[in-house]
Amino acid sequence: MKTKIQLVVAILVIVGVAYWAYTSVRALRYVGANIMFPVGSGHVVIQNPGNEPIPIEMRSGGRTANFRVASGALDLAEAAKRQGTGRDAYYSVNFDLPPGQARIDVTWGSGVQLISRSDTRIEAVVTPLASGSMRWILIGAGAVIAYALYYMSRVTQHRWLSTLRTRLAGNRLQPTQTTSS
């Protein structure tokens, strides 16, 4: 019974870590007009299907929430400017999004939100984490899952290995009896 509980716990750890890693690194899609959504510390690919530029604001709240954004398609490389005072202070970058598709990267900082202030419907795909953060999440999750699999194997005394050896070798590794003449 103790072995079964240990195996169930290991399986739950594997499922939980895999779910956490997937939800942390997956891309999110947003569609709408006059919308606000989080970009985090990653990047966003925005599609403006209209014929007119759309005013966009990227914002991060708090006094220490400074950030930088860059976009090759928009020829944009700008640090956020502080707006307001005291508790109402925030950092923002404002620009116009021309018709078509553009990628905007948060090159420094985190907790960034994108605000569209137009009746034109936009489509956006957000990758909320920087590539370095995604890499560490996937490496950490892989290590935890690998250890949980090893733990499951150790709890069952690695019985699957002997079964695998027997099946692969076709019983050729079994000891044979010798007779002496």
Q: Where are the domains of the chain?
A: 27-130
164 CB-side CA count, 13 A: 5
Other CB atoms within 10 Å distance of the CB of residue 101: 13
pLDDT confidence of 24, banded at 50, 70, 90? confident
Query: Looking at the domain covering 27-130, what would its CATH class be?
Result: mainly beta
Taking each helix axis from N to C terminus, what angle separates 2-25 and 131-155, rounded to the nearest 10 degrees? 170
Query: What pLDDT does residue 4 have?
Result: 86
List pLDDT tens digits, range 134-147: 899 999 999 999 99
List pLDDT tens digits, range 53-99: 999 999 887 656 788 999 988 888 888 888 887 778 888 999 988 99
163 exposure class (CB count in 10 Å sphere: 0-12, 13-18, 19+): exposed
Q: Which two tokens stand for residue 145?
A: 């899952």
